[in-house]
Amino acid sequence: MRKYETIFILHPTMEEEAVKANIEKFKGVIETNGGVVDNVDFWGKRKLAYEIKKVNEGYYTLINFSANPELPKELDRIFRITDGIVRHIIVKEEE
C-alpha cells in the first residue's frame, strides 16, 4: 500500500452538516475500496489564493491515507462528479 494525501475545497455556501457529510462520504470511499484513513484535518473556511468560478473562499479539508494504486483514480472520479467541490488534488507522498 502506498501513502497519499488529498486536499479538497468545498463551496462556501454549503451548510455545516453538508460539509461534514461530504467529508464522511470521501472517508467512506477510501475505506470501502481497501484504503486506510490515517488522518483527517479540517481547516475550516479559508480565503482562496485566486477566484475560481466566481468563488473566493471555501472549506478546506486534508486527508492522509494509505491505499492501493487504483484507489486515487476512483477517488478522483468521485470528486469530479460531486456537487460542491471547488477544487481537489491527490498526491502520492514521498517515501
The CA distance from 1 to 8, in Å, is 22
The CA distance from 38 to 57, in Å, is 26
pLDDT at position 94, please? 83
Domains and CATH numbers, the chain: 2-92 (3.30.70.60)
Q: Residue 22: which residues within 8 A CB-CB, separation 6 or more?
A: 10, 14, 82, 84
Instruction: Name the residue with cell 502520492.
Output: 92
pTM of the model: 0.90
Task: Band the pLDDT of 56: cuts 50, 70, 90.
Answer: very high
